[in-house]
């Protein structure tokens, strides 16, 4: 009722202000959605990098274990050979 008592120009100005606010909110929302999408993509890229790095570290670990195992085996064999040669 009160809205009907106000002059037409005043009501139009109020509606225009509301529309402007709605447009700003919609613009902000679309910007936030765009930023969210970009951040999600960046996060996925980071996850992919870590996944690749994790597999590389696992491979390095396995290679290190094989090398250390080989060195240990070589040390044991060479000690046995030396003990056999001394007797």
pLDDT tops 70 at residue 78:
yes
Whether 48 and 40 have beta carbons less than 8 Å apart is answered as no
pLDDT tops 90 at residue 51:
no
Report the candidate in 69, 49, 73 with the shortest Cα–Cα distance to residue 61.
69
Q: Find the range with the poorest average confidence among 23-27, 48-52, 69-73.
A: 48-52
d(CA 38, CA 62): 36
pTM confidence score = 0.46
Tokens of 21: 């606010």
**Average confidence score pLDDT of the chain:** 84
Tokens of 19: 């529309």
- Summarised one tens digit per residue, pLDDT across range 5-23 is 666 666 666 677 888 888 8
pLDDT tops 80 at residue 81:
yes
Q: Where are the domains of the chain?
A: 2-86
Sign of the torsion angle spanned by Cα atoms 12, 16, 22, 26? positive
**Cα radius of gyration (the chain):** 37
């Amino acid at each position: 009722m009160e809205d009907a008592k106000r002059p037409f120009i005043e009501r139009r100005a109020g509606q225009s202000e509301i529309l402007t606010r709605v447009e700003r909110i919609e613009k902000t929302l679309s910007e936030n959605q765009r930023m969210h999408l970009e951040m999600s993509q960046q996060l996925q890229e980071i996850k992919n990098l870590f996944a690749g790095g994790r597999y590389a570290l696992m491979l390095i670990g396995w290679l290190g274990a094989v090398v250390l195992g080989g060195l240990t085996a070589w040390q044991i064999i060479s000690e046995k050979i030396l003990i056999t040669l001394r007797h």
